[in-house]
Copies of this chain bind each other. A is one copy, B any other.
Amino acid sequence: MIKITKVNAAILIIGNEILSGRTQDTNTSSIALWLNSIGVTVNEVRVIPDIEGTIIDTVNYLRKANDYVFTTGGIGPTHDDITAQSISRAFKREYEIHKEAFKILEAYYKVGEFNEGRQKMVWMPKNANLILNPTSGAPGFNVENVFCLPGVPSILKSMLGGLKDKILGGNPILSHTISLRTVESEIAKALTEVQDSNKDVEIGSYPFFQGGKLGVSIVIRSEDQFKIDKCSSEILEFVNQKKIEIVAR
């Protein structure tokens, strides 16, 4: 099988609670780590409010600019859950009861518990594909290259596995981290030289503070393990020359 080597995605976090600072978004990291593992690079993340016009415009922009778009939030039963109807409008599709989703939730809930609020969760864009939810029943959905997931982190995580066959990724993005007992300014020049002689590898430098001590993590990322190894040995060379303590590698 020939693999496409560059596949990219955008993540769209929908929810006033993130913009107000009340809730700390953790879904970006969960989705991004999973996408990297299947060879999809996240190009950008946007967080927008629960406003229909904003959702429509942003989805329509992102789905054209990226191979895939993953949205989180706004697919629950309450009045502020407007993602499904907004996606319907973005794609100019009818917003209607999804028969399969209806059957799933009818079976999931006890008799009498599949009330009006819960029935809202089966309204989706016409001909949407379902994304199954092994945690709490209510499915997400997918239209073309847009995948709509819930905002609750534990439920979202449990749904990612089921998406694997729907995403055509490239080569997995590999990474190697070298953590040093130093400060960035001590290694900045030498690290620049390594980056300059390895232009197609992504080298990031991230200071940390752990157990009362400062350190720097150098993260090397590429699809090619050989290139990572080459960078890694060039970094370890100057690290040894400078007699810098290696915390982890």
Contact = CB atoms under 8 A, between A and B. Distances in A.
A44 B185 CA distance: 33
Interface in A24-55: 24-26, 28-36, 41-50
Interface string A155-196: 000000000000000000101000000001111110110011
A125 interface: no
Query: Mostly helix, strand, loop or mixed at chain A's interface?
Result: mixed
B195 A79 contact: yes
B45 A20 contact: no
Contact of A49 (B43, B175, B188): B43
Chain copies in the assembled complex: 2
Given A45-B46, A76-B184, A189 B116 contact: yes
A215 to B, nearest CB: 12
B19 A43 contact: yes
Interface stretch (A92-100, A201-209, A237-245): A201-209
Contacts of A17: 204, 206, 219
Given A79-B195, A184-B76, A47 B49 contact: no
A214 to B, nearest CB: 10
Most buried by B among A22, A33, A49, A118: A22
Which bucket holds chain A's interface residue count? 35 or more
Contact of A21 (B31, B49, B78, B195): B31
A80 B204 contact: yes
Contacts of A209: 152, 154
A44 B19 contact: yes
Contacts of A188: 77-79, 116-117, 120
A28 B31 contact: no
